[in-house]
A and B are shown apart, each in its own frame.
Chain A
Amino acid sequence: MPAADLVANVVVSGILTGLVYGLMALGLSVIFGVVRVVNFAHGEMMTIAMYMATVLFAALKLDPFLAMLPVAAAFFVFGYALQAGLINPFITRPEHSQFMLLVAVAIILVNAMLMVFGPDARNVQVDYQLESFELGPLLVDKARLFAAIAAVVAAAAFFAFFRYTLTGKAIRACADNYLGARIVGLNVKHLYALTFGLGAVCVAIAGCAMVLLVDVTPPLGPSYTLLAFVIVIVGGLGSMGGALLGGVLIGVSEALAGLFITPSAKSMFSFGLLILVLLLRPQGLLGKRA
């Protein structure tokens, strides 16, 4: 039986990492909730954000937390263009067709990164990266704490946007009733593109935070895509709060599974959780019944 302080340490780090995961998944969830398209290139987009952060750091010594602004801006444009140019014509196509489209996008993105950056792992090296706070028996990794705070702030901003701004409300109207939204004169295609852009911003911020915790390589993309799926399904596909909750849940459960079972089997635990949720509560923990 592991000691209590070991469990506490592992749980805290699981929660912090989980919040960053949650922000990444939030992007996926928002896009699905509105556009009804599952972004199979989500993890690949995340790795691009991570690469951009490493490049900005290498070239301008820009701290990844500051890099969030330019990367997010670039991603918004990228996301908007991707939806407006490629995905909008696919809205009415069958799911497997949408799936193939995004798989093709994912293949191009992963390999373009391989071409540009090569197979080596890249990272940023900021001075606080190897430091940690000591709080009694807890050792909290500084970078991880900052990353989690950034994720929470970003997520809060998103909640506020969708709840209080006119555009946010219009997007939600679109999600609730596509036809109705068109009838009252909303430019649905524009709103869809806007949503995809915002989802991409989530990914951009999550990527900049994540690069402090993880070295980036091109094959990281597909594994993040899968992780994001697991999180949003567990939390509730389309639910914003669910994505964050799912992130924390997966973060903590993987950490605990690593501690109590063998660490290499820990993602089996997440997939098991995913299967259970799909069977028992397919709308996810916080999702509404369709």
Chain B
Amino acid sequence: MNRNRALTPIYLLTGLAAILVALPFFVGNYALSVATLILYFAYTGQAWNVMMGFAGQLSLGHALYVGVGAYAAGALFFYYGIGPWAGLWLAIALCVALGLVIGFLAFRFGISGVYFALLTIAFAEFTRIGFDHFGWTGGPGGMFLRVAQRDTWDLANFRGPPLMYYYAMLFLTAGAFALCAWLLRSRAGYYWQAIREDEEAARALGINAFRWKLLAVAISAAMTAVAGVFFAFYYNNLFPEQIFHISRSIEIILGPVIGGVGTLFGPLLGAAVLTLLSDGISDALNALGLDIPGVKQVFYGLVLLCVVMFLPHGIWPPIARRLRL
């Protein structure tokens, strides 16, 4: 967390950004779709990190905001032909409201730690089953957005070739990174960290923990809502069973936890490592001719286990120390 050597990270970031911007010119479409997926998880991980990494509130139900955001923008487009740029605001508004309600209830009633985590799961599951019985958005039958011809960039409706989605996600990830870097150094960031380390002490110092925690939830929810809108227009079909499922929430968390909770680079690094690992394991297993269902995930779980055991703070902090950042 040493911020004196501010220059090194800037070089690092510029280099990384240049590579990512140039990437599509060097790789094929498959690699591009994997890169888009990595950026998507980096972005959602960053959003989750605001709540957990900065303010110390463990959410295991972030799929809720992805889902509500996706359905809000998706439904506007599906029923009224209103494009994602307007839908985005509805998605953000709904998710912030939802986050505030959950946060308000939880913090007002003094729910924290494991209990708070379980509360977030409960809200996500509740909503999942609710959407399963909500006919207007298609219920379990799903909502299918119309797909136009995709050769040209149609930014107004967010329709276009894979390249467009890649750059959109890159832009979002970079934006989230910048926002989080700024937040960490802002007054909010310092208050959050104080609350994360010791809420009692923070309150004794006169910090209104309740309000700052709500702010963290709101920002995290808003950021995740944007990911939801992207999800809706990238995948074009939404099913409650897939989008709200708890395994989705866990996927969001894996990146930052593996990368390093509370760090800026952690979510990026974690998302990249996990996605490439998952792909690499399937390749390796295919090469070995081991296509028994489940083998890949067992390896994945073992790697996860090792990282959690031997790198308790994630992959990034030791690397940062090595690089003297």
Given contacts A95-B117, A278-B115, are A118 and B302 in contact (CB under 8 A)? no
State the CA gap A214–B29 with chains docked (Å).
45
Contact B125 A38 (CB under 8 A): no
Contact with B along A59-74 (1 / 0, CB 8 A): 0000000000000000
Contact B246 A226 (CB under 8 A): yes
Contact A107 B301 (CB under 8 A): yes
Contact A222 B246 (CB under 8 A): yes
Closest-CB distance, B67 to chain A (whole angstroms): 15
Does A132 belong to the interface (CB within 8 Å)? no
Chain A contact residues, majority secondary structure: helix
Does A264 belong to the interface (CB within 8 Å)? yes
State the CA gap A113–B133 with chains docked (Å).
32
**Residue of A with least CB distance to B293:** A114
Contact B105 A279 (CB under 8 A): yes
Given contacts A99-B117, A278-B111, are A264 and B133 in contact (CB under 8 A)? yes
**Residue of B with least CB distance to A107:** B301
**Chain B residues near A275 (CB-CB < 8 A):** 119, 122-123, 126
**Chain A residues near B109 (CB-CB < 8 A):** 278-280, 282
Does A268 belong to the interface (CB within 8 Å)? yes
**Residue of B with least CB distance to A96:** B58
State the CA gap A79–B146 with chains docked (Å).
51
State the CA gap A114–B298 with chains docked (Å).
10
Does A233 belong to the interface (CB within 8 Å)? yes
Does A105 belong to the interface (CB within 8 Å)? yes
Contact A89 B309 (CB under 8 A): yes
State the CA gap A274–B292 with chains docked (Å).
38
Contact A107 B133 (CB under 8 A): no
Contact with A along B91-121 (1 / 0, CB 8 A): 0000000000000011001110111011101
**Chain A residues near B132 (CB-CB < 8 A):** 264-265
Contact with B along A95-112 (1 / 0, CB 8 A): 111011101111110111
Q: Which one, B111, B118, B294, B304, contacts A104 given CB within 8 A?
A: B304
Q: Which one, A111, A226, A268, contacts B298 given CB within 8 A?
A: A111
Contact B122 A274 (CB under 8 A): yes
State the CA gap A17–B119 with chains docked (Å).
25
Closest-CB distance, B119 to chain A (whole angstroms): 5
Does B297 belong to the interface (CB within 8 Å)? yes
**Chain B residues near A274 (CB-CB < 8 A):** 118, 122
Given contacts A111-B294, A118-B293, A271-B125, are A233 and B118 in contact (CB under 8 A)? yes
Given contacts A222-B247, A278-B122, A282-B109, are A115 and B294 in contact (CB under 8 A)? yes
A-contacting residues, B235-294, CB 8 Å: 246-247, 250, 253-254, 257, 261, 292-294
Contact A104 B60 (CB under 8 A): no
State the CA gap A111–B305 with chains docked (Å).
14
Contact B301 A95 (CB under 8 A): no
Interface residues on A, range: 35 or more
**Chain B residues near A280 (CB-CB < 8 A):** 109
Q: Which one, B114, B117, B300, contacts A107 given CB within 8 A?
A: B300
Contact A107 B129 (CB under 8 A): no
**Chain B residues near A113 (CB-CB < 8 A):** 294
Given contacts A95-B117, A100-B257, A264-B132, are A282 and B297 in contact (CB under 8 A)? no
Contact with B along A226-261 (1 / 0, CB 8 A): 100110010001000000000000000000000000
Q: Which one, A89, A95, A119, A279, contacts B113 given CB within 8 A?
A: A95
Contact A104 B308 (CB under 8 A): yes
Contact with B along A202-243 (1 / 0, CB 8 A): 000000000000000010001000100110010001000000
Does A262 belong to the interface (CB within 8 Å)? yes
Contact A268 B294 (CB under 8 A): no
**Chain B residues near A282 (CB-CB < 8 A):** 109-111, 115
State the CA gap A250–B114 with chains docked (Å).
21
Residue among A111, A265, A272 with the most chain B CB within 10 A?
A: A111
Does B130 belong to the interface (CB within 8 Å)? yes
State the CA gap A237–B294 with chains docked (Å).
33
A-contacting residues, B124-138, CB 8 Å: 125-126, 129-130, 132-133
Does B175 belong to the interface (CB within 8 Å)? no
Contact B111 A103 (CB under 8 A): no
**Residue of A with least CB distance to B102:** A275
Closest-CB distance, B86 to chain A (whole angstroms): 31
Contact A226 B121 (CB under 8 A): yes
Contact A268 B129 (CB under 8 A): yes
State the CA gap A107–B296 with chains docked (Å).
11
Contact B118 A111 (CB under 8 A): no
State the CA gap A115–B254 with chains docked (Å).
23
Q: Which one, B129, B133, B297, B301, contacts A271 given CB within 8 A?
A: B129
**Chain A residues near B294 (CB-CB < 8 A):** 110-115, 218
- What are 11 sample pairs from A and B whose C-beta atoms fall under 8 A apart? A100-B304, A107-B298, A115-B298, A230-B122, A233-B115, A237-B114, A262-B133, A264-B132, A271-B122, A278-B106, A279-B105
